[in-house]
Every structure is written in structure tokens, then in C-alpha cells.
A = this chain, B = another copy of it.
Amino acid sequence: MECGARLFAERGYHPTSVADIVATLGVGKGVFYWYFASKEELLTELLKASNHDLRKRQQHALGDEADPVRRIELGIRASLSWFAEHREYFAIIQFAATDETFAPVLARNREISIADTIRHLKDGIVDGRIADRDPTLLAHAIHGVVAELTSHALVDSSLSVDEVADLCVAFCLEGLCG
């Protein structure tokens, strides 16, 4: 059912009407409002489900790895591979971040993810493996790299996810100067 919402990704939320969605599915409009209270709820549901799935993937990827630096690396790789398999969601999430209706949900999701990263960073800093800089800003920096490289990897599919992930990790750990 929610598969019919790849339309949001292709054409954007506002330009996609409920009529478009049900027409693509070949069903009447009523069936949509039988399962969702509103068009808004569909997007919210999409956001919740995708976030839940992504986090599950990350937690599974981290396993019981103890090294904080390695945990960060695994988190990055998990994010990239998840988005590679769910390309539609990238555009959806990016739009949702710009709409005041959905921004709060998304902000909460991201805060949780950032908080996780911050924890690993702090661990790494007390271990002396990570330079002692504001962990919050570092966490955002990492998320920025991941988001942008995800976006780029989705467009330029000539690169494999692993290649991108390798560079992403290298950049985050060693910077430009290596």
C-alpha cells in the first residue's frame, strides 16, 4: 500500500495529489481514506516507518562492537547502505525537513541519531582516539558528510556504495590531509 508513495519521492509531496496516488494504484479514493486519516498522515507514517527501519539496520550493524571509532564507522556504512536500498526515501525526508508540519517529527528522529553519535564520540575522546572537540558539532559534521555523499551516490550510480562508504569513513576519520 505505502509503496504507492514513491510518488512523493518522484514528484514531491505537494505536487502529488491523493487522486494521483489512488489512480496509480488503480483504486478508488475512498480506500485511501479507509487506511489513512489524511494525506498528511501517510507522510508521517512513511517517516516513522523508514526511521524505524533505518535504526534497526544500524543497531544490527553495530552488533556488540566495543571500539567507539569502529562503531561510528559501522553506523556510517549502515546508513549509506540503507539509503542505497531505499533511494525513494531520501527525497521524501529532505522535503519533510523543510515543511513545518513534518519538521518536528524529523527533528526528533535526527536528534536521537545525533545523540547516539555523540555518545560514541565522547567515548572515543576519553580514550584519546578522537580529538577533543565539541562532540555535538562533530556529530553534525559526520551526519552532513553522510547525507551529502548519500545524495551524490544516488545520482551518480557509477560508484558502488562500498566505494563511497570507504571514502566517507576515511574522510571522517582522517580529513582531507589524511
Residues of A within 8 A of B (CB): 10-12, 14-15, 69, 72, 91, 94-95, 97-100, 121, 124, 129-131, 133-134, 136-138, 140-149, 151-152, 159, 163-164, 167-168, 170-178
How distant is the Cα of A10 from the Cα of B145 in the complex, in angstroms?
26
How distant is the Cα of A25 from the Cα of B26 in the complex, in angstroms?
45
A16 to chain B, nearest CB (A): 11
How distant is the Cα of A131 from the Cα of B133 in the complex, in angstroms?
23
Interface SS of chain A: helix, strand, loop or mixed? helix
Q: Which of B130, B134, B136 contacts A176 (CB 8 A)?
A: B130
Q: Which of B98, B133, B168 contacts A94 (CB 8 A)?
A: B98
Quick check: A134 and B175 within 8 Å, CB to CB?
no
Question: Inside 8 A of A133's CB, which chain B residues have their CB?
Answer: 167, 170-171, 178
Which of A100, A124, A163 has most B Cβ within 10 Å?
A: A100
Quick check: A173 and B176 within 8 Å, CB to CB?
yes
How distant is the Cα of A148 from the Cα of B10 in the complex, in angstroms?
24
Quick check: A124 and B176 within 8 Å, CB to CB?
yes
How distant is the Cα of A177 from the Cα of B174 in the complex, in angstroms?
6
Question: Inside 8 A of A171's CB, which chain B residues have their CB?
Answer: 133, 137-138, 141, 175
Question: Inside 8 A of A138's CB, which chain B residues have their CB?
Answer: 167, 171, 176
Could you list 8 examples of A-B contacts with CB < 8 Å? A10-B100, A94-B97, A137-B149, A141-B171, A144-B144, A144-B147, A145-B145, A174-B174
Question: Inside 8 A of A178's CB, which chain B residues have their CB?
Answer: 130-131, 133, 175
